[in-house]
Structure 1
Amino acid sequence: MHTTPEVLDLVKSVFQRAVTEGAWRVTEHHRLTRIQFERWFVDRNVSLVIVEACGSAHHWARWLNSRGIEVHRLPAACIRAYVKRNKTDAVDVCALLEAARCADIAPVKVKSIEQQALQGLHRTRSLWMGTRTSRINALRGFCREFGISAAAWLIRTLLFLH
């Protein structure tokens, strides 16, 4: 049995959806709001959905998996090569379909909520460390403009950033 995938472009407020036939040609395009999107999968028999690995893709992949739908998340960097003309949601859906047909593009695994939360904590800490270092270096440079030489530990102490 051949699986005919549905291809989704996950946008902030509107979702672009394309239905394909057995030869993986697009037969229909739909633009759905979030509510319409959630209702669409309630009474449909969909077995495969292809999405781009973007910001909300983990959430929607988990949501679709909980309904028994297989989800293939494709890396965004690989899809860009398949965009044939100006970037629109409908063109992105067609590019996703072309990229999905390419056998050498491996789908991205769906992260659990715990994995995603831990990754978010690590990214947040890394950003905080970067801004802390930037602030310390800026203050040290400002002090040097007035002939004051201050060690990094002194600046951290003054800024209460242990």
Structure 2
Amino acid sequence: MKLTPVGIDIAKSVFQVHYVDEETGEIVNRPIKRAKFLEYFANRTPCLIGMEACGGSQHWARQLTKLGHEVKLMPAEFVKAFNIRNKSDAADARAIWLAVQQ
């Protein structure tokens, strides 16, 4: 089974999620509030989630793994190579999405 890759940029109150919808081909790059984050992924089929490694990502990786997702934590230096635009949450989420597929 091929897992859908998802890139997540973690911030204090809003997380940016980037992926391509398998059914429609639509590029989804949406902010999700911290309070709704786990609820959003509890309602999804298992997917491959990429995040930059940091103290907070360890916690979220454990929670997402409990929900059945596969999580890959990557160092920021690796993800930085994939960022082609100015630094923003949306651009970072896209760079993480690209990096997790490599």
TM-score in terms of structure 2 length: 0.86
Aligned length: 100
Alignment map for 1:1-162 (pairs within 5 Å): 1-21=1-21, 27-102=27-102
- Say which SS state the counterpart of residue 81 (structure 2) adopts: helix
**Structure 2: which 5+ residue stretches go unaligned?**
none
When the two chains are superposed, the root-mean-square deviation of aligned CA atoms in Å is: 1.8
Greater helix content: 1
> Which residue type is aligned with residue 39 of structure 1?
E
TM-score in terms of structure 1 length: 0.56
Aligned-residue sequence identity (percent) comes to: 37
8 Å CA contact 2:17–2:32 kept in 1: the answer is: yes
Structure having greater relative contact order (Cα 8 Å, sep ≥ 6): 2
Larger radius of gyration: 1
Cα separation, 2, equivalents of 1:21 and 1:31: 16
> Which residue type is aligned with residue 86 of structure 1?
N
